[in-house]
Structure 1
Amino acid sequence: MKFLVAILGVLVVFVLTYAGSNDRRSIRYRPLAVMIVLQVVLAFILLHTGIGEFLIGGFASVFEKLLTYAAEGVNFVFGGLANEGQSPFFLSVLLPIVFISALIGILQYTRILPFIIKYIGLVLSKVNGMGKLESYNAVASAILGQSEVFISVKKQIGMLPKQRLYTLCASAMSTVSMSIVGAYMQMINPKYVVTALVLNLFGGFIVASILNPYVVSREEDILEVHDEEKQSFFEMLGEYIMDGFKVAITVAAMLIGFVAIIALVNGIFSGILGISFQQLLGYIFAPFAFVMGVPWREAVEAGSIMATKMVANEFVAMLDLGKHAELSARTVGIVSVFLVSFANFSSIGIIAGAVKGLHEKQGNVVARFGLKLLYGATMVSVLSATVAGLFL
């Protein structure tokens, strides 16, 4: 039965993206088929084999160790603030982002990350039928984040047609940055985080190839990675540490605001209609939860969490998921994979602002197709969760 539901889920994603395509005649189906097969194979390896268990365990243990080191710094500054045996969310989940950001800066400075990103991107370009720039950007987005990635390709931003610009922005919204992966792993099972990271990479290409098909000519298929102005090691380190701290503070502020606003709106809806706003959204998203593989009896609750992710952000939704202890392991796994992306309304402003900071005209272009970006990124999350559901 779950295989039939998964096929239905993939078909729903295809039909919805096909309906929104800006040039249906230009869709190339062979790369799509190859990438869907790759998604299924990778999901099987990661969720259903000893090799996948070993890889995920190794990845998770690395982050667990890094978070232990991060805790040393947090405890040095904030030790004693928490009650014994307790650790506030900001200290235990968000502040370690500062250390992970610093580590990414070191790997960038030593040219290790640019080398890895560039050559993984070149390999991907052979599979997805897209340009080198798009493939590089997808890998870089999954490591650097949805704002920082555009800095590395800023030499080409101003010269890109809107079709290629859309694909770059869609990749940034469909993935998550490595600096906050450790935070996710403290809120949901690490195997779902890793699985989502891998599946979203290909899912972004699949959805963009349907919604926004185009052909990159050989003359246009160039990649110019911007080398930042050379800094001393400690200048760079200080900058990345402050960037990580800004991310932690920003996420904390967003959580305070969104959690409070959702509580207010839930109270208003409950007083007037006798049903909370999240429950209402749950009914709207329930069909999508079902085609992803969630049992119908849990579809409304799962849909509510999915909607929370889109109208607020993934952190709020992950916190909400943790409160639903009655959900089955299969539902938790499927919803967890869905939550691991930046597909929410606030990301439209973040991405448009990042591009506008580099090129004002292109930033305005991004703002105009912002809702289509969110639509595509949400379809990526649905597709990844559907494929993962085959093996849960």
Structure 2
Amino acid sequence: MYFLLNVLGVLVVLGLIYLCSPNKRNVKWKSILTLLIVELLMTWFMLSTKIGTWVINQIASFFTWLITCANEGISFVFPSVMANEQVDFFFSALMPIIFIVTFFDILTYFGILTWLIDKVGWLISKVSGLPKLESFFSIQMMFLGNTEALAVLRYQLATLREQRLLTFGIMSMSSISGSIIGAYLSMVPATYVFAAIPLNCLNALLIANMLNPVDVSKEEDIVYVPAKHERKDFFSTISNSMLVGIRMVIVITAMVIGYVALTASINGILGFIVEGLSVQKIFSVVFSPFAYLLGLSGKDAMYVAQLMGIKLATNEFVAMLDLKDKISGLAPHTVAVAVTFLTSFANFSTVGMIYGTFNSILSEEKSHIIGRNFWKLLVSGMAVSLLSAMVVGLFIW
């Protein structure tokens, strides 16, 4: 029964997105069906085969090694803190970002990450039949993050039509950053984090194609490649990366502190009005129908619905911190769908980040396309997260 609910959930999400589409006639159903088939095969390979499990374990080991290297640097500066049996979230999850950002930028400097993104993006374009630039971007933002990926494509974005620009805004809601993965792994199982990353990539394309279908000519379908003169020297690159990393740590720290405190204050006000009422309880009711469509029941459905609300209102870090404390008492299917759903940047503050990025790299006039379509970005972010979680849920019981 719960498996059938999970299957129904996929159909319901696609149906709701189709109803929200302002241009239903141009939806490319062949591309959508192709992407869904690829997702199912890929998820089966990752979660149900020995080779797929081995691949995920190797990737997880690689990121664990990166975190270990990062901890060496942290231990040098904060030896007494890192010697504790239980290390605070700031040091265990956020400080490693400084090194991981630098590591990924080194891969980009030597063209390794750029080559990987380009080839995989080309492959997705061939399989799905969707434009190369959008396919390229879907891969790029999963490693670089939405604002960084938009910045890399800034010269090409400046030449695009407004409707096509909206596609990039919609897709940006479903990103993560390679530098953040280490923080996720300190809180939730690696298997579902690494399963969510490629699924979010494909679902971002799928949902964008439904919410904002755009016809792209061959002349328009090109990928921007930075010129050699745009690159800084190696030392400047890694030094700048470290500064970018510490800024990310500060921003994330501020967001976690601020949103947790804000949620607590709102809960205090709500509790004063109605005893026991909280933001979590309100969202658990609003999102409960989708939680049941994830193949969950009873307590687990209400708890995952609560996590959905926490992620949307605050961010995935706050929700993961809550899940981390309760994960040992949850069923495997519940853990799988919850972690997969949380592995993306889809929340209110992300819309603001995307708007600010458009404003800074393009123009105030072009950034209005984001402001006017605020609801599309939020809907797309939640739909991608739900769809990825539902696909993973089909294979874990």
Q: Aligning the two structures, in what range does the TM-score lie when normalised by the shorter sequence? A: over 0.9
Runs of 4+ in 1 over 6 A off after TM superposition: none
Q: Residues of 1 paired with 2:170 and 2:375: CA distance? A: 11
Which among 380, 383, 393 is matched to residue 379 of structure 1? 383
User: Mapping of 1:292-307 within 5 angstroms?
Assistant: 292-307=294-309
Mapped to 2, the partners of 1:81 and 1:185 lie a distance apart of: 20
- Aligned-pair CA distance for 1:161: 1.8
Distance in 2 (alpha carbons) for counterparts of 1:296 and 1:18:
29
SS at match of 2:214: coil
> What is the one-letter code of the residue matched to 1:281?
F
Deviation at 1:276, TM superposition (A): 2.0
Contact persistence 2:138–2:202 (CA under 8 A): no
Partner deviation per Cα, 1:4-50 (whole Å, 9 max, x = no partner): 11221111111110111020011111111111111111111111221
**110-119 or 318-327, which deviates more:** 318-327
Query: For the Cα contact (< 8 Å) 1:171–1:204, is it kept in 2?
Result: yes
Is the 2:170–2:376 contact (alpha carbons within 8 Å) kept by the matching residues of 1?
no
The residue number in structure 2 matching 1:35 is 35
CA deviation after TM superposition for structure 1 residue 82, in Å: 5.6
Q: 1:121–1:138: 8 Å Cα contact kept in structure 2? A: yes
In the alignment, which of 384, 389, 392 is matched to residue 388 of structure 1?
Answer: 392
Paired position in structure 2 for 1:4: 4
* 2:111 counterpart residue number: 111
- Give the conservation status (yes or no) of the 8 Å contact 1:2–1:390: no
**In the aligned structure 1, how far is the partner of 2:370 from the partner of 2:268?**
35
- Aligned match for 1:362, one of 353, 363, 366: 366
2:251 maps to 250
1:351 counterpart residue number: 354
1:272 counterpart residue number: 273
Residues 5 and 292, structure 1, Cα contact 8 Å, conserved in 2 = yes
Amino acid at match of 1:283: V
Q: How many angstroms apart in 2 are the aligned matches of 1:270 and 1:128?
A: 49
Question: For the residues of structure 2 that align with 1:71 and 1:121, how far apart are their CA atoms?
Answer: 33
Query: SS in structure 2 opposite 1:147?
Result: helix
The answer on whether the counterparts of 2:122 and 2:136 sit within 8 Å (CA) in structure 1 is: yes
Structure 2 CA distance, aligned partners of 1:315 and 1:256? 11
User: What is the one-letter code of the residue matched to 1:25?
Assistant: R
Moved more, 62-71 or 122-131: 122-131
| 8 Å Cα contact 1:292-1:386 kept in structure 2 | yes
Structure 1 residue 210 corresponds to structure 2 residue 210: yes
Deviates more, 1:241-250 or 1:153-162: 153-162
Cα-to-partner distance string for 1:321-356 (whole Å, 9 max, x where unaligned): 123344322112111100001100000011111121
Query: Which of residues 319, 330, 333 in structure 1 aligns to 2:336?
Result: 333
1:322 aligns with 2:294: no
- Please tell me the residue identity of whatever aligns with 2:61: S
What SS does the aligned partner of 1:22 have?
Answer: coil
Q: How many residues align?
A: 392
The letter of the residue matching 1:86 is: Q
Q: Which residue of 1 aligns with 2:132?
A: 132
Question: Structure 1, residues 53-110: CA drift from partner, whole Å, max 9, x if none?
Answer: 1011101100111100000101111121367312111111001000000001111111
Does the Cα contact within 8 Å between 2:166 and 2:369 map onto a contact in 1?
Answer: no
- C-alpha deviations, 1:239-294, integer Å up to 9, x for none? 11111111111101100001111112222223322222211210111111111122
User: Greater shift after overlay, 246-255 or 366-375?
Assistant: 366-375
Name the CA distance, whole Å, in 2 between partners of 1:237 and 1:340. Answer: 27
Please show how residues 2-81 of structure 1 align to structure 2 within 5 Å: 2-81=2-81
Find out whether 1:229 has 2:230 as its counterpart: yes
Paired AA for residue 318 in structure 1: M
Deviates more, 1:316-325 or 1:97-106: 316-325
Task: Please list the CA deviations of residues 113-155 of structure 1 after superposition, one character each: whole Å capped at 9, or x if unmatched.
Answer: 1111112111111122221111111111011111111121111
Query: Secondary structure, in 3 states, of the residue corresponding to 2:326?
Result: coil
Q: Is the 8 A contact 2:173 2:380 kept in 1?
A: no
Asked if structure 2 preserves the Cα contact closer than 8 Å seen for 1:279 and 1:301, the reply is: no
Instruction: Give me the whole-angstrom Cα distance separating, in 2, the residues matched to 1:303 and 1:218.
Output: 43
Q: Quick one: which amino acid aligns to residue 376 of structure 2?
A: K
Which range moves more in the overlay, 179-188 or 290-299?
290-299
One-letter amino acid matched to 1:333? A
Residue ranges of structure 2 left out of the alignment (5+ in a row): none
Q: Aligned-residue CA RMSD in angstroms?
A: 1.4
Cα displacement string for residues 154-193 of structure 1 (whole angstroms, at most 9, x for unaligned residues): 1111221233212222222212110101111111100010
Contact in 2 for aligned 1:154/1:226 (Cα 8 Å): no
> 1:243 is matched by which residue type in structure 2?
V
Mapped partners of 1:230, 1:200: distance in 2: 30
Distance 2:201 2:349 in 1: 21
Task: Tell me which moved more, 365-374 or 339-348.
Answer: 365-374
2:388 is matched by which residue type in structure 1? S
Distance 1:230 1:127 in 2: 32
Measured after TM superposition, the shift of residue 199 of structure 1 is 0.8
The answer to whether the 8 Å contact 2:17/2:211 transfers is yes
Q: Is the 8 A contact 2:118 2:136 kept in 1?
A: yes
Structure 2 CA distance for aligned equivalents of residues 6 and 166 of structure 1: 30
SS of corresponding position for 2:387:
helix
Deviations 1:285-323 (A, max 9, x none): 111111112223321111011110011000011011123
1:287 aligned residue (286, 289, 295): 289
